[in-house]
């Protein structure tokens, strides 16, 4: 076998298409929903594999999920909570992003 046929994007796409087709047949999974899950940086590869599956094998995907990692989203989440008045210090009762001191001193859910 000549491994050079699998090197590069076209060979990779063709090999994965053959594998998916064979797997679906071997395990009789044709009626099952078919989703392709890839990292977001592989979006062009995902599009190519989707086209390969459809044109060469007649396999239609139900969807493609692109997964992207994030290093640390805690600041973004805290900022969004603060803007919606859901910050850890309590509700933003005035709507200006500032939590009144008397509200900030209470824990969320605590009665006056």
Q: What is the 3-state secondary structure (H, E, C) of 21-62?
A: HHHHHHCCCCCCCCEEEEEHHHHHHHHHHHHHHHHHHCCCCC
User: Could you tell me what percent of the chain has a pLDDT over 90?
Assistant: 40
Chain CA centroid to CA 45, Å: 16
Q: What local confidence, expressed as pLDDT, does residue 101 receive?
A: 58
Q: Is residue 70 predicted with pLDDT exceeding 60? A: yes
CB atoms within 10 A of CB 22: 11
The continuous run of DSSP H or E covering 13 comes out as helix 8-26
Q: Is residue 51 predicted with pLDDT exceeding 50? A: yes
Rounded Cα gap, residues 32 and 82, in angstroms: 42
């Amino acid at each position: 076998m000549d491994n050079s046929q699998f090197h590069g994007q076209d060979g990779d796409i063709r090999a994965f298409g053959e594998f998916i087709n064979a797997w679906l047949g071997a395990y009789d999974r044709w009626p099952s929903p078919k989703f392709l899950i890839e990292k977001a940086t592989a979006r062009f590869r995902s599009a190519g594999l989707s086209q390969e599956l459809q044109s060469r094998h007649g396999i239609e995907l139900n969807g493609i999920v692109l997964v992207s990692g994030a290093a640390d989203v805690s600041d973004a989440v805290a900022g969004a909570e603060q803007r919606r008045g859901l910050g850890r210090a309590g509700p933003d009762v005035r709507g200006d992003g500032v939590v009144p001191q008397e509200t900030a001193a209470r824990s969320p859910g605590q009665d006056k």
